[in-house]
Chain A
Amino acid sequence: MAEPGADLKEYRDRARAWLAGHLDPRQPGDPAGADPAHWTEERDHRERSIQRILFEGGYAGIDWPRQYGGQGLTIAHQRAFDEVASDFRVAEFGILGRTTWGICVPTMLAHASPAFLTRHVPRVLAGEELWVQFFSEPEAGSDLAGVRTRATRDGDRWILHGSKVWSSGAYYADYGLCLARTNWDVPKHRGLTWFAVKVDKPGLAVQPLRQINGRSEFCQEFFDDVELTDDDIIGEVNQGWTVARTMLSMERQVGARTKMRPVTAARRPAADLVALARRAGRADDPRVQDLIARAHIIDVVQAELGTRVQELAAAGARDPASLACYPKLAAGTSTPARALMGIEIGGGAGLTWPSGEDPPAGVNDYLGARGQSIAGGTNEMMRNVIGERILGLPREPSYDTDQPFSEVVRRAAKWGRTESPKPN
C-alpha cells in the first residue's frame, strides 16, 4: 500500500470529482448542523434520496465495516471525505443525523449481533432508517440506570410498557434504541436490556414536547404494550448497562464536538452580542463592552477546551469520556451565563418584540441556553465524574447498587418517614 498521506490525497481528489458529478454545490441557506426544527415530508424525502446517492456511490459509512455496507476505510478517510463534502449539498438529517450516525450505530457496531447489524446498518447507510434514542424517562434522567420502562417476557415475545422523554427528533425517526428493565429482582445495573423499537408499531405514541422557548425539538413517547422479539435485542439480555456505557461515552463526545464555536482568523468575536449592542444603541457603554469581552473570552475558552479533549482522545488518552466532562461542564456553566449577557445588553426593551413575530435570537438563546446545563448529563453529574473518576475523590455513598431494584423503589418511597436507609 502507498504511504497513507498519498492515499488520502488521492481519495480526497476522487471523492471531490465524484461529488461534483453527482451532487449539487452547497448554497447559502442550505440546511446544516443539528437543527431539527421545521422537518417536513418533502425535506425527509429529499435528504433520504441524497443519502441513497451517496450510498450507491460508495461514500456512506466510509469507516464502517464492509460486511454491513460500509467502505471499511479509516477515520482519516471519513474526515477527508467530510472536508471535501462540506462544499456540496450532502444529506442533512438534523438532530437525528447526529444520533443515528454519531451515537446509535457506533454503539450497535460495538454490541449488536451480526444478524442485527446485517438487518439495520445497510438500511441506515442507504437513508432508509433514522434512529432516535429512547433513553431518559420522566422518573430517570441523571440516574439513567434507574429506568422503569419494563420489557416483560411473554412466550417468545417481549411486551414493552412505560414512557420515554427528551428524545430529540423522534417524530421523524424510523427506529428507537430503547433501554428497558427486564429484571426487577436484581440490582439496577444488572436488569437492563436494549431493544430496537420501530416507531410506527401499534401501541407506541409519539408526542412533541413544547420547550420553555416555545419550540418543539424533543418528544415524549408512550409504550402501551408494544410487542418486540428477541431479534430486536442489542447486546445480551440484562447486560444493557455495558451497552449504555458505550452510548454515554459516544454522546458526551458528540456533545463536546458540536458545542464548539469556530475560532478562525477570519471570525468576528462575539458577533451576536456586538450586533445586539448596536441595535440596543449601547455600543459605547463600557459595561456593555466588558460583557462582550467576557463572552468573547468564554467562546475562546470553550473552543480551546473542546479541541484539546479531541486531540487527547485522538492520541489515545485513557478514559476520553471522562475528559469530555470538562468541555461539557464548561458549556453547561458558561452557556447560560453568556445568554444572560445578551439579556443584559439588550436591556428591558430587548425583552419585547413586535406582536406576531418570532422572538429575537437573544431571547431564544436565553431561554434555550439553559438546556446546555442539563442535556446529556447535568452539570452536577459532570462534577461527580470529574471529582471521582479524574480527581480520585471518594465515590458517593450508594443506596441502590447492591439491592434488587424493586426493593430500592419500595424503600425510597418511604425515605424520611418510616425508614432511614443506610448506604451499602
Chain B
Amino acid sequence: MRCAILDLPLSEDLDILRAATARFAQSEWPIEKLRAVADGGPVIESGYLQRAGELGWFAALAPEEHGGGSISGTGLLDAVVVAVERGRSLQPGPFVPMNVVAAALAREGSPKQQADLLLDLTAGTALATWAAAGPSSGWETGEAIRWARTPDGYALTGTAVLVQDADRADYFLITAGSGTGISQFLVPARTPGLAVRPVSSIDLSRSFCDVQLTDVVVPEVTLVGAPGKASAAVEHQLQVACVLTVAETIGTMEQDFQLALQYAKDRIAFGRPIGSFQAVKHLLADTSLLLEASRTVCDAAARAASDGGAGLELAAVAKAYVGDSALQLGQNCFQVFAGIGFTWEHDQHLYLRRLTMDAALYGDPAWHRRRLARYYELPEAK
C-alpha cells in the first residue's frame, strides 16, 4: 500500500526498480517472518543479500567496471528508491552501510581494494559494514577508535558501536582518529584483536554489534585514502548514510501512517468511525504533513547530494527534521491505535522501534542541528 500524496512521479526505469524491490521484500521478508524472529534469532537468511544484490541494491554508488551502475544516472536517487521500499516493509540487512562502503571505495579505495571487494560487495556475496561512532562520540570525528603508525603498518584501538551486522561481516570500513587527523582502514573480519559483540536493540528488524579493537595491527594496504586526510571522505560517507537512512525512514513512516489512517476509518466508537472526530482527523492531518514534508526534504537532500556544500547542508537538515518528525509520527499513530497498538501482536511497535533507531543512527536530530552551526559563522558554542 502506498500513499504518495506529494510524491513526484518516478521515471519508468526507477519505477521498475521500485516495484521489483517491493515484490522482493514481500516474498523474501514479509512482516510475518520478522514476527517469527522478533523474539531473537538470525535476522538475515542465507542468500538474502545475494538475491538483493541481483536486484542492484548495492550497485548504485559503485562504478560499472566493478559491477556497479546507476539506472537514473545519479546513483543516490536509485538507492533512495530502494531504501523507501525497504523501510516500508522493515527489511533487514546492512543496506545502508554496504552502500556507504561501496561509495567510499569507489571514491577513495585503492585499485587493489576496488578490485578485491567491489565486485563481491555489489553482488551481495561479501558483507561490508561501517564502523565510525563510539559510545559517546559523533560519527565523523574518529574519536571512537585511535590509529597510530607502527613499524609494520598501523595499530587500531577503541570501540565502535551501532555497527550493523558486524557479526556476519567480511570487511569493516573503520574510521579512526589521532592527533594528526582522521584515517580510514578496510579491515578483514578475522583480523587478530578485532572482537565483535552482538547486542540487543530496540529495533527488532535489524541487528547491531559493538566492535572492539585491541591493538589491531593492519598493513599499509588496508588504508583507504591518505593517512590523516580522511575527513572529507568521512563527511561524504555520513551524507550517504543520512540520505539513505532518511529514505528508509520515509518508507516506514508511510506504512505506519497508512495503517493508522485505515484504522481511523474502520474503528467505530460512539456510533462513528473515530476518524470522523476532529480531534483524530486533525491529528492525522498534522501527521500527514510531517510525512509529506519529510518526503520533500528527503528528495531535496538526495537531489542536492552531488552539489557539494548544499548537499551536505541538506543532508543534515533532512536527518534532523525527519528524525524528529518520524518519532512524532510514531507517537501520533500510536494515539490513533490506542490499546491495540500497545500490544506485542500489533505491528505498530515494530515500526516505532525501527523509526527510533533510524533517528539515532548516523546522528540524532540534536547532533545534526549542532553540526548546522557551521553555516551561521557564529563563535564556538560554550
Which residues does A use to contact B, with CB under 8 Å?
265, 268-270, 274, 277-278, 283-286, 289-290, 292-294, 296-297, 300-301, 304-305, 307-309, 311-312, 315, 323, 326, 329-330, 333, 380, 382-384, 386-388, 390-397
Question: What's the Cα separation between A119 and B377 when bound, in Å?
Answer: 56
- Chain A residue nearest in CB terms to B300: A304
B 277-321 binary contact with A (CB < 8 Å = 1; else 0)? 010011011101100110011011000000001100110010011
A329 pairs with B276, CB closer than 8 A: no
Task: Report whether over half of chain A's contact residues are helix, strand or loop; otherwise say mixed.
Answer: helix
Q: Bound complex: CA of A387 vs CA of B265, how far in Å?
A: 11
A284-B378, A284-B379, A289-B378 known; A393-B276 Cβ under 8 A: yes
**A297–B282 alpha-carbon span in the complex (Å):** 23
Which one of A289, A311, A323, A397 has the greatest number of beta carbons of chain B within 10 Å?
A: A289
**B282 A380 Cβ-Cβ under 8 A:** yes
CB-defined contacts of A284 to chain B, threshold 8 Å: 378-382
| Closest partner residue, chain B, to A287 (CB atom) | B381
A408 CA to B15 CA, complexed, in Å: 52
- Contact yes or no, A326 B284, CB < 8 A: no
Interface presence of B370 (CB below 8 A): yes
Q: Is the CB of A393 within 8 A of B284?
A: yes
Task: Determine the chain B residues whose CB is within 8 A of the CB of A294 once the complex forms.
Answer: 369
Using A270-B376, A300-B300, A326-B292 as known contacts, say yes or no to A387 and B369 having CB atoms under 8 A apart: no
Q: Residue A290 contacts which of B282, B286, B299, B369 (CB distance < 8 angstroms)?
A: B369
Tell me whether B8 is interfacial, beta carbon within 8 Å.
Answer: yes
A-B interface contact total, Cβ < 8 Å: 141
User: Smallest Cβ distance from A4 to chain B, in angstroms?
Assistant: 22
A383–B276 CA distance with the chains assembled, in angstroms = 12
Interchain Cβ contacts under 8 Å between A and B, 10 examples = A283-B379, A284-B379, A289-B381, A292-B378, A297-B320, A300-B314, A300-B321, A384-B282, A393-B265, A394-B273
Do A326 and B293 have beta carbons less than 8 Å apart?
yes
Name the A residues within 8 Å of B370 (CB-CB): 286, 289-290, 293
Whether A300 pairs with B297 at a CB distance below 8 angstroms is: yes
On whether the beta carbons of A293 and B276 are closer than 8 Å, the reply is no
For B314, the chain A residues whose CB sits under 8 A away are 300
B281→A393 contact, CB < 8 A: yes
Interface size on B, residues (CB 8 A): 45
B8 in contact with A311 (CB, 8 Å): yes
Closest to B265 in A: A393
Residue of A nearest to B280 (CB): A393
> With contacts A285-B382, A391-B284 known, is A396 near B289, CB below 8 A?
no
**Minimum CB–CB distance for B121 against chain A, Å:** 33
Q: What's the nearest-Cβ distance from chain A to residue B94, in Å? A: 29
Known: A294-B369, A300-B297. 18 other contacts (CB 8 A): A270-B376, A285-B382, A289-B370, A289-B376, A290-B370, A292-B376, A293-B320, A293-B370, A300-B321, A301-B296, A308-B8, A311-B8, A312-B8, A384-B278, A384-B281, A393-B264, A393-B273, A393-B276
- Partner pick for A329 among B284, B289, B309, B376, CB 8 A cutoff: B289
Within the complex, which residue of A290, A308, A315, A388 is in contact with B281, where a contact is CB–CB below 8 Å?
A388
Knowing A296-B375, A297-B321, A393-B281 touch, does A386 contact B288 (C-beta < 8 A)? yes
How far apart are the CA atoms of A265 and B6 in the complex, in Å? 24
Q: Are B285 and A296 in touch, CB under 8 angstroms?
A: no
The answer to whether B229 has its CB under 8 Å from any CB of chain A is no
Smallest CB-CB separation from A290: which chain B residue? Answer: B369
B378 in contact with A305 (CB, 8 Å): no
Shortest Cβ distance from residue A81 to the other chain B in the assembled complex, whole angstroms: 27
Residues of A within 8 A of B293 (CB): 301, 304-305, 326, 330
Contact B296 A305 (CB under 8 A): yes
Q: Does B36 contact A (CB under 8 A)?
A: no
Q: In the complex the two chains form, what is the Cα distance from A268 to B299 in whole Å?
A: 22
CB distance from A167 to the nearest CB of B (A): 29
Q: Which of A270, A277, A285, A326 has the most CB of B within 10 A?
A: A326
- Known: A297-B321, A380-B282. Contact between A394 and B275, CB under 8 A? yes
Interface status of B199 (Cβ within 8 A of chain A): no
B321, A301: Cβ atoms closer than 8 Å: yes
- The interface residues of chain B lying within 8 Å CB-to-CB of A307 are 296
Counting chain A CB atoms within 10 Å of each CB, which of B276, B293, B310, B380 scores highest?
A: B293
Could you tell me the distance in whole angstroms from the C-beta of A306 to the nearest C-beta in chain B?
9
Nearest-CB residue, chain A, relative to B309: A265
Closest Cβ neighbor of B366 among chain A residues: A290
Please give, as numbers and ranges, the residues of chain A lying within 8 Å of B275 by CB-CB distance. Answer: 387, 393-394
Find out whether the CB atom of A269 lies under 8 angstroms from the CB atom of B366. no
